[in-house]
Amino acid sequence: MKTTRRNFLKLSAVAAASLPATSLMASTKTANKPIVISTWNFGMQANEEAWKILIANGRALDAVEAGARVPESDPKETSVGLGGLPDRDGHVTLDACIMDENGNIGSVAGLEHIVHPVSVARKVMEKTPHVMLVGEGALQFALANGFKKEKLLTKESEQAWKNWLKEGKYKPIANIENHDTIGILALDTKGNLSGACTTSGMAYKMHGRVGDSPIIGAGLYVDNEVGAATSTGVGEEVIRIVGCHLVVELMRQGNLPEQACKLAVERIIQKNPAKAKEVQVGFLALNKSGEYGAFCLQKGFSYAVHSDSINQLFDSSSIY
Ligand code: SD4
């Protein structure tokens, strides 16, 4: 069934009526468009940049790119862009993707030496017949398009890696320093949705490992008829269920954003119950009406919301 705005709202109402009161309260956070939402505490600063574009009647696509670039260029953020923690061989390898209201997509994975992988992903989307470039090819493309080659490993992240090497045990850390991948979703004044996602991936991963963040459908998905979703946490578990596509499809079926995120988290538990107890995964979603919500496995996932009526950080509800 094609989801028109009218029957989408009707479906939302039906779904809302069948939810327990607690979920309903948490799931009906609404703000008028424009609105931007993004993952973790650093989402507050990212949203500020995105908001400047949205409030000037700019395009959601430009807003999410501008927002994602904020933690990318902050050397103190150790999970995104410059200053991101390296893989176990000491390489900072970055993953990012972007998706617009027309279903255009661009993505890079395992990109080294470039501070703004989200902007390279956008160039892949706009300037190539492909959707994803990886590793050396992504770097060549970035350099050919005017991006500068830079050293992304800071003194601090190099020291952290050297300390890690003493034991060399790989274990994903949930909610690392309360920031992680940034996923950012926006609805502009024209009612169009876009999203972006950018990360240095799991710290001390194997060289060549790619997570969910640059994979359209896993770390990000946008359907301009329905809504958009993004994820953070252990990418392997998100890829297994094609998480963000699932969240958007659950919204299409009438679930409000938080409920759709919760159902996707429950799918992760169903597929891999033992693992789900140990790791963090969080989903964040925004629908076409400006309703938003999140859900995660472990306590500690926060998300930031900016509209004309709110500029605030929320704690996501969690299973455990
Ligand atoms: C990944 N989801 O590479 C990303 C990064 C992340 O905790 O969120 N790490 O799996």
308: left (phi over 0), alpha (psi -120 to 50) or beta: alpha
Q: Could you state, in order of their start, the residue ranges of all structural domains in the chain?
A: 30-318
Class for domain 30-318, per CATH? Answer: alpha beta
pTM above 0.85, yes or no: yes
CA of 84 to the centre of ligand 1 (A): 12
CA distance 217 to 194: 13
Q: In this structure, which residue's CA is closest to atom 6 in ligand 1?
A: 233
Catalytic residue among 78, 93, 181, 232: 181
**Ligand 1 pocket check: which of 87, 204, 234 to mutate, most ligand atoms within 8 Å of Cβ?**
234
Residue 154: predicted pLDDT: 92
Residue 179: predicted pLDDT: 52
CA of 226 to the centre of ligand 1 (A): 25
H helix count then E strand count, the chain = 11, 14
Span 246-255, pLDDT tens digits: 999 999 999 9
With CA atoms as reference, report the closest residue to 259 among 37, 8, 18, 30.
18
DSSP class of 222: E
| Mean pLDDT of successive 10-residue stretches along the chain, which has 320 residues | 36 37 45 92 97 98 98 88 91 97 98 98 98 98 98 93 88 60 97 97 94 98 98 96 98 98 98 92 97 96 95 96
- Over its C-alpha atoms, the chain yields an Rg (Å, rounded) of 18
